[in-house]
Amino acid sequence: MTSKQPVQNTSNSATAVIPTPTAIKDSPAVERALNRSKLYLLVSWSLLYPEDDEFLDYIQCGEFVEDGRAAVEGLEKVLDGAGGERAKQKLTAMRKLFDQIEKLVASECVNWQLTDLQAEHRRVFSNVITLDCPPYETLFGNDHVFAQSHVMGDIAGFYKAFGVELSKDIHERLDHLSVEFEFMHFLAYKESYSRCHDGADKTQIVVEAQKKFVKNHIGRWVPLFCRMLVKKADSGLFKLVADMTAELMDFEAAFLNVTPQPYSESDYRPATFNAPEGQTYECGAQDQGNELSLLLNETGAQNFMDQKDKDKEDGGPVGTA
């Protein structure tokens, strides 16, 4: 996912894309946004198929765990009661999971070659869309292709509203978990930027978008996906990533004070998605029923989103997926 808003050039290098909170502004709200952004990015990257050694090097050198711990500890320091006791418990659980990942890397992954990581990814996710734990939103709760098209259009509407689009380097759909999580990484980082440079109204737009995307999208299907991934992986790196993702989703629901209606096993009735002939996913972004479009229009934010020339002068966050 690339952004039409220039600023930080985010690539598949977590060390390059994760900012240092104190380098921007010493504000608890800014630090909370930055550390949430970091956690989303770590999970996003870990679930993509490894095309090269970059992610393997990242986990083997210890920086994956180091960055994750720093994000969790940073949130614990500035949480200031946000999300209540539930949010605190989820941070504690994530800290323990990073400890487990560190032990796994030291005992097993340290000697991996790229082919080993790729083989483990194929074992869990296979070479085609596996129905055991498909990382695609539209395969959950949408057993008809038209329902899938509606959901895909709504996702595209969120991306379009914030000027982001799929990178040509990423061979995934709009509804892949890694793409959706990197979009949340982008929104959380954009929130931190907005708190430093924009007014309260513009910041609130970004916060509300995060709440709606968690409540209506990732908060609904990701918990069931994580349970399926734990069962399929059984053990190893992706089992721990699944546990981490589930805890992050619970934390986010508490922190953002939203109550998604998660899918259950009985809701999982996948159908193969095929876009209608002559249509693209983006066509649904113009739908007046798109929740984010309504939100933007109600708050007068659409004009702000269209000011690309001003964004180029001011700078701001950018994400890729």
More confident residue, 153 or 285: 153
Any alpha helices (H) in 48-140, and if so which ranges?
54-60, 63-78, 84-107, 114-125
Neighbours of 70 (CB within 10 A): 17
pTM: 0.78
- Dihedral, CA atoms, 214, 219, 222, 224, nearest 10 degrees? -170
Q: What percent of the chain has pLDDT over 70?
A: 73
Neighbours of 176 (CB within 10 A): 22
Task: Report whether pLDDT(13) > 80.
Answer: no
What is d(CA 209, CA 187) in angstroms, rounded to the nearest whole number?
8
Q: Average pLDDT of the chain?
A: 81
Residues 150 and 284 sit within 8 Å (Cβ to Cβ): yes
For residue 50, the one-letter residue type is P
* Nearest in space to 43 (alpha carbons), one of 179, 207, 206, 178: 178
**What's the pLDDT score for residue 106?**
97
Find where tokens 């693209």 sit: 280
**What's the pLDDT score for residue 306?**
45
**What's the pLDDT score for residue 298?**
36
pLDDT tens-digit series, residues 239-263: 999 999 999 999 999 999 999 999 9
More confident residue, 272 or 207: 207
Task: Report whether pLDDT(175) > 90.
Answer: yes
Lowest mean pLDDT segment, chosen from 196-210, 277-291, 297-311:
277-291
